[in-house]
């Protein structure tokens, strides 16, 4: 089978069957294999207890599970016979802004008469702290948020449902082993701390965001929902997806030197139609650089912390990872007249990457459907 869920992948998730308690499973083709008996830390309602064991235990357990799954000795269930839950308990959530093409596009949309990049952008991975309590598993409906918004043509702000609801196609990185307050994680130690990767959609209310974000940055325009895939791809499964970073000019400061990009292809699907194919390999800042910058001031990390890449966008119009860019600020409708999200729209983000078995693996997809604002 070539569905991207073979023995070279085996992503982890948390599932329940009728009348059972949540426990950890791995996806093997179109089935969920129950691995709760492999070690006690997998007989838990989240991956956190297992992730905290560290990379040596991850490697040994992955090898053992691969052998057991290949031998078909563990219980397995059809995908449609299980319910998938949020796979890890989310600690802190940080979202970065690591795509040169996305940052440049946004700058050109909002500051057409100025330099698109602000002076700090090429020197550090820009980010903001999000709200971990609104991170939800793929398939969870997204309720249109309400808040203050003020268009440039309006004299004063009004309150109501967002008129410019958007997506951001991203990757999320899940911390397995944390770090102490006052310590730092070097760029080269990403694999000692990050357990795996999830697909991520950072839903964004652009009108609320535009009115609130000066001078302190995103707040209510970002905190209402962030969707992640139900499957966590182990970092080890992406070993053959490692690739060189684009040229970084000027050279980063020493604490940010090094790091590798990931060759992961993304598809943005709106109501069943592929509208964009952003390439993660073009991202300017690497996952290792993001984690190093996150901790350079001594900030601690914990098991279950999540940090995201920011919108993945490429250099061509059909590789943009947000509706803001695809519609060029709402001025250029696409996909049959869309500019921003309408009630009832369904967006799915799909991901694939080179696998260690010579083919491609399929990362967990992320789906959300927009529901009307609530009174």
Residues 105 and 80 in one domain: no
Residues 68 and 198 in one domain: no
Q: Does residue 1 fall inside a structural domain?
A: no
Judge residue 137's burial from the number of C-beta atoms within 10 Å of its C-beta, 0-12 exposed, 13-18 middle, 19 or more buried.
buried
Residue 152 main-chain phi, psi, to 5 deg = -55, -25
For residue 185, give both structure tokens: 């994680």
Q: Does residue 2 fall inside a structural domain?
A: no
For residue 260, give both structure tokens: 């590798």
pLDDT in tens, the chain (375 residues): 579 999 999 999 999 999 999 999 999 999 999 999 999 999 999 999 999 999 999 999 999 999 999 999 999 999 999 999 999 999 999 999 999 999 999 999 999 999 999 999 999 999 999 999 999 999 999 999 999 999 889 999 999 999 999 999 999 999 999 999 999 999 999 999 999 999 999 999 999 999 999 898 999 999 999 999 999 999 999 999 999 999 999 999 999 999 999 999 999 999 999 999 999 999 999 999 999 999 999 999 999 999 999 999 999 999 999 999 999 999 999 998 999 999 999 999 999 999 999 999 999 999 999 999 998
pTM for this model (two decimals): 0.97
Residues 99 and 77 in one domain: no
Residues 231 and 107 in one domain: yes
Q: Is 102 a catalytic residue?
A: yes
Last residue in a domain, options 85, 108, 125: 85
Write the CATH number for 16: 2.30.30.230
Q: Does residue 138 fall inside a structural domain?
A: yes
Tell me the C-alpha distance between 319 and 108, whole Å.
17
From 158, 72, 137, 36, select the one nearest 368 (Cα to Cα): 137
Residues 59 and 114 in one domain: no
Q: Check 102, 193, 293, 338 and give the catalytic one.
A: 102
Tell me the C-alpha distance between 165 and 145, whole Å.
8
For residue 371, give both structure tokens: 């529901």
Residues 39 and 115 in one domain: no
Domain that holds residue 76: 12-85
Residues 277 and 329 in one domain: yes
Other Cβ atoms within 10 Å of 5 Cβ, number: 23
For residue 210, give both structure tokens: 């535009």
Write the CATH number for 330: 3.90.850.10
How big is the chain, counted in residues?
375
Residues 65 and 119 in one domain: no
């Amino acid at each position: 089978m070539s569905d991207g869920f073979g023995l070279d992948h085996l992503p982890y998730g948390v599932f329940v069957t009728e009348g059972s308690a949540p426990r950890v499973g791995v996806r093997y083709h179109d089935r969920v294999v129950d691995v709760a008996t492999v070690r006690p830390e997998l007989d838990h309602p989240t991956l956190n207890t297992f992730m905290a064991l560290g990379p040596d235990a991850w490697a040994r357990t992955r090898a053992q599970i691969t052998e057991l799954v290949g031998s078909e000795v563990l219980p397995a269930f059809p995908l449609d016979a299980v319910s998938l839950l949020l796979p890890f308990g989310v600690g802190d959530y940080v979202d970065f802004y690591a795509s040169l093409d996305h940052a440049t596009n946004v700058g050109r949309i909002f500051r057409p008469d100025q330099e698109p990049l602000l002076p700090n952008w090429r020197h550090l991975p820009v980010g903001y702290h999000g709200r971990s309590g609104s991170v939800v598993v793929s398939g969870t409906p997204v309720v249109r948020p309400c808040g203050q918004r003020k268009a440039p043509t309006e004299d004063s702000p009004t309150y109501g449902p967002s008129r410019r609801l958007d997506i951001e196609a991203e990757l999320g990185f899940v911390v397995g082993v944390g770090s102490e307050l006052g310590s730092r994680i070097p760029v080269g130690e990403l694999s000692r701390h990050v357990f795996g990767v999830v697909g991520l959609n950072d839903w964004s209310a652009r009108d609320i965001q535009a009115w609130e974000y000066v001078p302190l940055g995103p707040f209510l325009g970002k905190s209402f929902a962030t969707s992640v895939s139900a499957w966590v791809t182990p970092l080890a499964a992406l070993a053959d997806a490692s690739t060189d970073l684009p040229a970084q000019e000027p050279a980063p400061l020493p604490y940010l030197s090094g790091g590798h990009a990931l060759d992961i292809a993304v598809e943005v699907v709106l109501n069943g139609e592929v509208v964009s194919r952003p390439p993660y390999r073009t991202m300017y800042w690497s996952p290792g650089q993001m984690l190093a910058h996150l901790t350079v001031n001594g900030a601690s990390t914990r098991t279950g912390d999540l940090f995201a890449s920011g919108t993945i966008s490429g250099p061509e119009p059909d590789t943009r990872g947000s509706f803001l860019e695809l519609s060029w600020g709402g001025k250029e409708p696409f996909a049959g007249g869309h500019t921003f999200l309408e009630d009832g729209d369904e967006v799915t983000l799909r991901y694939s990457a080179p696998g260690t078995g010579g083919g491609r693996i399929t990362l967990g997809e992320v789906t959300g459907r927009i529901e009307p604002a609530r009174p």
